[in-house]
Structure 1
Amino acid sequence: MVKVVGTVFSSLTHHLQQVYQSPGRTLEAFWDFSRCYFYALAFWSLFSAKFLHLYAHLHSLPPSKLFVWGITFYFQDVVILLLLRVFVQKSHTRSRYRVALDVLVVVPFSLIVSAMASANFSVYVFTGAEIHWRQAKSFTNDTAAIRTLLTGLTGFLIGEGLLSMTAVISARPIHKLTGGILHVLAWPFQWLFPRVRPYVVRPLERLRTRNQSSILPDPEIYERIALQDDYLNDSSDDDESDFLIGAPAGSGTQKQVRITERALPRVLMLLAFCLFVVLRLCRPSDPMYWFLSGTLPMASLFEGGHGDSPIEIGGIPYQYDYLTSASSLHPPPPFSWMPAGSVPGFEDWDKSDPYALHYNAEMAPLHISNLDQPVLEPIRKALADGSVKIKHVVLLKLESARADIFPLRKGSFMFERIADSWDNQVIPEDVLRRIANLTPTAEYLTGTPTGFNSESQEGTGRKSYGGLTAKNAYTTSTYTLKSLTGTLCGVTPLVADFNREWEHHVYQPCLPHVFDMLTQQPSITKETDDFTKWPWHSMWMQSVTEGYDNQDKLTPVLGFKDKKTKEIIESPDAKYPPKGEEVNYYGYADTELEDYFRDAIDDAERDHERLFLTHLTGTTHHPWGLPGNVYEQILGSLKGQNEDLNRYLNAVGFVDNWLATILGILQEKGVANETLVVMAGDHGLSLPNDGGITPYDNPHVGNFQVPIVFAHPHLPPVEITAPVSSNQIVPSIIDLLLESSSLSETTAPVAQDIRSLYEGQSLIRPLIQEKDGRQDWQFTVMNTGGSWLSVRSAAKPQFRLVIPLITDVEWRFSDLNEDPNEDKPISRFSLLDLAETIGKKYDQEVLNWLWDAAYVANWWVAENWHRYRYEPGT
């Protein structure tokens, strides 16, 4: 043992002395040790990333095209790896400067691509979608976004560990395998060089001899050097046998013959490589092939371009022209009550800008109005006796609220999903009681029977709260901040990545702007007990950060000046410091706002103000943390996705209790009978369907379906089954204020004019799905805004089309009548391929709907940009 330790110590001392005497030798020693490893790391990173890339889009190409061109999708990766192999070859003729250059190229490249591959692996596992690298720059300067990314750190480390371990194990074989391939590819040039050398080298020698005293190296020496550049011959740097060396050709003293030096293997390898190149050269020039071929290092450099509209609809068999040159932008209508100058939300009426245009619903080619329809009969009867009064409006934006859990019903998809996690699909009685009591407030607010009454609430006499419930509602965007703009301003959000609305023209007045305009009208005063003449006060509340993606700049644009956010409630001078710890990477539990809710109502009642309070919940956001980290077991197995789903359902139950607390506060303060409570999900969550923990780049229908509820104790329970969108909330609130006589004589005409501005139909009137050949098209801007657009028609809501805005994603069609949970949507990279596939299953009527949807969406995207005064690329 002493001898071994002495030997190791002596060797270590020797190497340290070498490092001290010549640092350059350290570089060479490091390179000899690690060149195989880093090359293998790059090799597995590129190929694993490409495999994941193709797997994610496996069903997006017709099988015939995938069979013919599939191998060509690896072309870029192969070229990069062959070039990289040149840098890691073993050669005793290299200078230390060349070694340093090789290290500076190979090591950073390998580390970068392995990090990108691991990050993509992590995001795909947790979200079901690949990273769009062009969006990554949006996270670098956003602290809250970085905290979000850190939630995937475990998956990233696992991916990096797997790649590193695989590289360590396979470093030498991979190095020799690719060296052998290069050896074969170099062979034709080595064979050709001696034959063309006399015609190239000797004239150069004579020229050089004529002009200089020195001459070129001896041609024989030159040829030997060239031929010794053998990418396979790396056996000198270790004692292992060559991976591609065959058995000895003769006796033990006879020189071994490598496989790559045998004629047949050489010919077969060259033919295979030539076929590979020929296929790549013959492959059609199609954006979908370019996308599938993209190698990881180049992923962040290219993205789909935008012209007048980014939607590619070439090949539609019909000549559509009814939207040609059509526009919904026209000079704003004159209003006698409009103040002079620029008013927030009403800037288009500023007379100093004679060229200002505004969305004109009457002239919008896709708009269908239902304001000429009577109020729904049950609501009209309730309004007739004057009992429905609306002094305050509370708008609750519910984070990640699925429509089918508001409330959770027995026999629903979510209930069956829970049952599947238990043995024999039998849910124990104690768990059934937990499920029955998970969303009682949602059941109370919507009046929707859950099927659990006989087990949990029989004999309680509990009644419905009252109001409207939309059963088939889609959000305007599956990105929270865009969804807020759609809900609060009655618009469809901007078709651009992330929160860009704040820096562009939100083309309709938002609710705070509307209420501010009403406040500016004559006879508005605090010196009266008639609340219809009180001024309005708008307030924003959330217990999570407003620092994510410029939300702190968005809320003022939406009209909010008074805000209570995480940054305010945790400040040293906060009136009510947080009672608990942060529950997720955005902030605190929603219940931290309870005292602020009470104060807001007290202040409004004391000051004779009408309160418009908007609250964005945050507890139901991933990772669904709860105060005290206490969870009940709802699913039988808590492995994999079931653990996330169990946490999510517990968070849903927590928020349901929080809604009950809010209703209790309204009752406690004596304003419940005069408060309209509007609830809408910002987006759904496809977690129980496909495991997605976020709607990021996930087109599943579960991310689009949200609850929309208008609750008031004196309204009858009304269920709306027609397809609606959350951009209908603003005109519906204004309409209900008008029809309930909750506005003064001077503000009612103002509200009536403003109500007519919006594109969405009022929910308190019969909804019109089709009129004069026009369908009521409903658009959803998908998270994060610039990749996908979802469109459906209220006339045929069973069909749903998800349209790519870039070349990185696919067209996607689903028939919700046949496939309500979208287990088998049809995805293709081109509209024509999609139509071909649909045509084999459906009749011409469905194809006609597909062409209509694509044509309308193509026009609408360009129109959306015009409305926001947005220039793509800015």
Structure 2
Amino acid sequence: MSLQKSTSFLFALFLISVASTKVLHLALHLGAIPLAAFFLYLPTFFIPDVALLIITRLLLRRERGVGSLVGLLLGSFISCVTFIAASCQIGFFTRTGADIQWSAARTVAKDKDGVAVLLSESSSVLVPAVIILALAWFSHAWVYEVSGNILRTLAGLWRATYNRDPGPIQSKERSDGIDVEHSLEDGYSDSDETIVWSEGDSMFGRGKVEEPPTGLAGRIRTSWRRAVKNIPQWMVLPFCAIVLVVLLLTRPAKPYNHISTTLPLPFLTLINFSFEPFNSCGQTERVVENMWPLPELIREAHWKPAHDHFKGWAPGGMSPLIKDYRERVPEWLPLPIPAGFYRWNSTEPAEDTLSVLDTPNGTTADANGTTLACAPILTRQADYNPVDDPLRITNLDLEPLEPLRAALRDRTATIKHVVMIQMESMREELFPLQQGSLWHKMILESHPEQDRDEINRRLSKLTPNSERITGKAGGFTNSTGHPITRDQETPSWFNSTDEGFGGLNVVGAFTGSSVSTKSVVGSHCGIWPMAVDGLEESESQVYQPCLPHLFDMLSNKKINDSKSDQSEMRNRPWDHMYFQAVTDDYDRQDVMNEKMGFRDVVARKTLQKDVKNNPGMMELNYFGYAEPYLIPHMEKFIDRALANDTRMFLSHFTSTTHHPWRTPGDWQTVRYMGKSHGISHYDFNQYLNAVAYHDAWLGQMMQLIEDKGIANETLVIFVGDHGQAFLEDTSVTGTLDNAHVSNFRVPITFRHPHLPRVQYEANATSISILPTILDLLASTGSLNEEDGRAAADLINDYEGQSLIRPYKTHEGGRRAWNFGVVNLGGSVLTVTSADAPWRLVLPVEEKNSIEYQMSDLRLDPLEVDPIKGWDMVHLILDARKKYGQDAATWADEAEKVARWWMLERKRLWKYQSSK
């Protein structure tokens, strides 16, 4: 390709990339602001685009010399980078319906498994890339020439402005001897062609003189051109500049600055230009000095005294109860202090007790005496203190749920083993799917009326094991109202549970995060994650003991106690192991597993070693294998526990229901979705097939527990890590920066064959799982007397309520708040409360160009019609109009509490950002 064609092609590539993504960017935000404001400020949206196009066009001009060569190389680089970014941005939109967040892409791309996620959708990027290349190839000559003519016109206007030329916008002889055109184009003639009626110096091309048009349209065009010709040239640029400056000065920053962004500028966020730590002393002080925003709710009149295992509640820093808790060392705590219980270690080194507030200007010194810029948040006051937690509401003062009382009193539901199954991307609506639900209706409506009996037959076999686990019947019937019977070959397990028993199923639960790894921390440790990108929690110590820590602590007491009867189940030590068939390297999950106390982990690396003995093993997706390959390892662990007569905690994370929702080749896929509503439903149909496979796997696991003879003494917890949004829910799919409620509704079930069936309705989260397990172990008599006291004491240290007792939605004017960290973590947060139906979505940083959003889940359970605003003031006004004054008050409180909560998490995690 010649230099002439190369430069024109590169510029056309750049222009089409910029133009296509800018149109897409504007279209995505068209409904986010008033239409009048959109068109008023429309010219300002293109200022960076015009500037970049001019710069790139000048860099790609056809001249000789070292300077031109450098410009050509730089312009080529800019064009190629912009082309790649545009292809990615358009491809991301076609798959998710959202605008790409480049900072999030950088976080994902830092991990090799994250790169695999990105590459899995490479076909979505290739299609727009080919289209852009084709458009650039066929239009490059015209685009390059027209852009050159426009630049010559602008140069003429600039020269006229500089010289205060009073002449009109028309052809003039160049009397100043400056050959502007030649500086822009090499090889084009400088003939004096008219700007208005010729194609030479105009922006419409080059060639012969046109004849004046005739007819009404021609006369109107002629009049317009004459009016334009009579405008003095020197006034054009100043007038345009003044208009743009006025618009820029009057234009609000949010969201208009974000709307104005153009490629390749956002793409540069992939490069970290930071030369110093982001977290200044001011940032650290902001975390440490974070004050509760509703002080009237924590006044002394609301304080509660300590009694029994309850340590009291007196937040605010002035109560002696806070100091008492901080200085106490529990009598049940063995020595040396076991892992996970570090906050009770009274022998902490002195430097670990420094606070940023203890030193001048926030500085301190390390062990070598070197002055540090900021003191780390390592003060013992930073540890979690339930007495000083203004959010904490406990229900441990209430009796267990009435249906459970007899079983707990009679000690008929013994728990020797605990199994936790964290289910990837599992939505509550599909655990199980029930006839008459919103999702069942949506699936049926995608099919013609005459096919719906057959579709109901297929759907009746979708989640049979989930029905048995939760006690919620699918209830599928045909068009005549008769129940649909399942085929004998439907995957299931031999369920020996008596009618009316099976445990507690939570209805209305939410996850604490749509980031899988953060969600796992919440369910295993009973703590909230941080609203930061990625699993930064792995860089710190968990601020509460996790389940493996608790079981290890109880085991250490058994090993050190030679007087206990080792033959009695309650005196036996615990063993634990973590299982997943996919990688645990993604985003430092392996590090976090170790921090949570897991010593033995079976993951992708373990299964890869099995390939030597089983050459037929094939990876299912970019993350790893299908779950059944874990069976030999699970059997080995269970057999070890049975042989050693130890108690067992088995934790398993499923994975088939993760994108791209592939199932093994020998699994028979089913067409669940029709072709109505103008979309193919391909992704959702793939997901439904993955859900069916996942349900069969759950049955296989439950059968394994039955076969090993431990079903009657095993508590099995099922919990979704997060949901999964599809086009059938909302215009934006996936979990990345997507706060839609379908990404947060999850199932939580505590299954035991000797616990009565309870459908427990509560706006709870997975942080309640750990205290509920402790409460069940203690209440069922499954712990010896000493361990029971320790468990009863420890439950009072956690933030979550026990789910075997009535859930307190509010207390003393305080609400039971729940929070949801949106994937990747550092952009968006969701807030709900157990006493109200409203849900708030807010940006993590107020400066972020992310809309606030509020919905009423009672009136709009699928968030079809939420209210939106670019600041809380306008959102509260709109909430008052649509939902009433109570909703407006709730929204104001929710935003304030959320801001406090985000900083409080950083304090508790002792977070020091390096960004």
Range class of TM-score, shorter chain = 0.7 to 0.9
Contact 1:800 1:815 survives alignment (8 Å): no
Q: Equivalent residue for 1:380?
A: 405
Determine the C-alpha separation between the residues in 2 that align with 1:572 and 1:397.
Answer: 24
1:658 Cα offset (Å): 0.8
1:58-137 counterparts in 2 under 5 A? 58-90=30-62, 94-137=63-106
Cα 1:729–1:104 change in 2 (3 A) is same
Q: Equivalent residue for 2:517?
A: 481
1:218-257 counterparts in 2 under 5 A? 223-229=176-182, 231=184, 235=188, 243-245=204-206, 248=209
Q: Equivalent residue for 1:158?
A: 127
Q: Equivalent residue for 1:774?
A: 814
Check if 1:643 corresponds to 2:609: no
Determine the C-alpha separation between the residues in 1 that align with 2:549 and 2:655.
Answer: 25
Q: Equivalent residue for 2:157?
A: 188
Q: Deviations over 1:328-349 (max 9, x none)?
A: 9972642012234553111111
1:690 Cα offset (Å): 2.8
Contact 1:392 1:674 survives alignment (8 Å): yes
1:287 Cα offset (Å): 4.2
Q: SS of 1:864's equivalent?
A: helix
Bigger mean CA deviation after superposition, 459-468 or 403-412: 459-468
Amino acid at match of 1:684: G
Amino acid at match of 1:75: I
Cα 1:179–1:227 change in 2 (3 A) is closer
Q: Equivalent residue for 1:3?
A: none
Q: Equivalent residue for 1:417?
A: 442
Q: Deviations over 1:707-745 (max 9, x none)?
A: 000000001110111211111000000000000000112
1:323-362 counterparts in 2 under 5 A? 326=316, 331=326, 333-353=328-348, 355=353, 356-357=380-381, 358-362=383-387
Check if 1:859 corresponds to 2:900: yes
Contact 1:442 1:656 survives alignment (8 Å): yes
1:667-682 counterparts in 2 under 5 A? 667-682=706-721
1:234 Cα offset (Å): 7.0
Determine the C-alpha separation between the residues in 2 that align with 1:391 and 1:115.
Answer: 56
Determine the C-alpha separation between the residues in 2 that align with 1:482 and 1:322.
Answer: 30
Cα 1:174–1:265 change in 2 (3 A) is farther
Cα 1:516–1:577 change in 2 (3 A) is farther
Bigger mean CA deviation after superposition, 518-527 or 293-302: 518-527
Q: Equivalent residue for 1:398?
A: 423
Contact 1:579 1:592 survives alignment (8 Å): no
Contact 1:341 1:351 survives alignment (8 Å): no
Bigger mean CA deviation after superposition, 365-374 or 290-299: 290-299
Amino acid at match of 1:779: F
Q: Deviations over 1:537-594 (max 9, x none)?
A: 11000011112111111111111111111110221588x7475421111111111112
Determine the C-alpha separation between the residues in 2 that align with 1:149 and 1:459.
Answer: 40
Q: Equivalent residue for 2:552?
A: 516
1:392-791 counterparts in 2 under 5 A? 392-424=417-449, 426-452=450-476, 454-457=482-485, 463=499, 466-522=502-558, 528-571=566-609, 577=614, 580-628=617-665, 630-637=668-675, 641-687=680-726, 688-690=728-730, 694-791=734-831
Q: Equivalent residue for 2:249?
A: 282
Amino acid at match of 1:286: A
Q: SS of 2:46's equivalent?
A: helix
- List alignment gaps of at least 5 residues for structure 1: 1-28, 197-219, 252-256, 312-317
Amino acid at match of 2:538: W
Contact 1:393 1:611 survives alignment (8 Å): yes
Determine the C-alpha separation between the residues in 2 that align with 1:810 and 1:171.
Answer: 39
Contact 2:816 2:833 survives alignment (8 Å): yes
Q: Deviations over 1:508-537 (max 9, x none)?
A: 111101111111114768973322111111
Q: SS of 2:868's equivalent?
A: strand
1:136 Cα offset (Å): 3.1
Determine the C-alpha separation between the residues in 2 that align with 1:578 and 1:396.
Answer: 28
Determine the C-alpha separation between the residues in 1 that align with 2:72 and 2:624.
Answer: 44
1:463 Cα offset (Å): 4.5
Bigger mean CA deviation after superposition, 132-141 or 679-688: 132-141
Q: Equivalent residue for 2:169?
A: none
TM-score, with structure 2 as normaliser: 0.82
Determine the C-alpha separation between the residues in 1 that align with 2:156 and 2:5.
Answer: 28
Amino acid at match of 1:741: G
Q: SS of 1:586's equivalent?
A: coil
Contact 1:41 1:163 survives alignment (8 Å): yes
1:673 Cα offset (Å): 0.4
Cα 1:163–1:822 change in 2 (3 A) is same
Amino acid at match of 1:490: G
Cα 1:119–1:678 change in 2 (3 A) is same
Determine the C-alpha separation between the residues in 1 that align with 2:672 and 2:25.
Answer: 35
Contact 1:490 1:730 survives alignment (8 Å): yes
Q: SS of 2:660's equivalent?
A: coil
Q: Equivalent residue for 1:263?
A: 229
Contact 1:536 1:612 survives alignment (8 Å): yes
Contact 2:530 2:825 survives alignment (8 Å): yes
Cα 1:228–1:110 change in 2 (3 A) is closer
1:387 Cα offset (Å): 1.2
Bigger mean CA deviation after superposition, 734-743 or 320-329: 320-329
Amino acid at match of 2:339: P
Determine the C-alpha separation between the residues in 2 that align with 1:121 and 1:492.
Answer: 35
Q: Equivalent residue for 1:833?
A: 874
Determine the C-alpha separation between the residues in 2 that align with 1:228 and 1:166.
Answer: 27
TM-score, with structure 1 as normaliser: 0.85
Bigger mean CA deviation after superposition, 844-853 or 595-604: 595-604
Determine the C-alpha separation between the residues in 1 that align with 2:110 and 2:614.
Answer: 28
Determine the C-alpha separation between the residues in 2 that align with 1:262 and 1:286.
Answer: 34
1:36-55 counterparts in 2 under 5 A? 36-55=8-27
Cα 1:486–1:431 change in 2 (3 A) is same
Q: SS of 2:506's equivalent?
A: strand
Q: Equivalent residue for 1:315?
A: none
- List alignment gaps of at least 5 residues for structure 2: 166-172, 191-197, 213-221, 287-292, 300-314, 354-379, 489-494
1:280 Cα offset (Å): 4.3
Amino acid at match of 2:608: E
Determine the C-alpha separation between the residues in 2 that align with 1:800 and 1:740.
Answer: 38
Contact 1:409 1:449 survives alignment (8 Å): yes
Q: Equivalent residue for 2:117?
A: 148
Contact 2:543 2:909 survives alignment (8 Å): yes
Q: SS of 2:177's equivalent?
A: helix
What is the percentage of aligned positions where both structures have the same residue? 33
Amino acid at match of 1:589: A
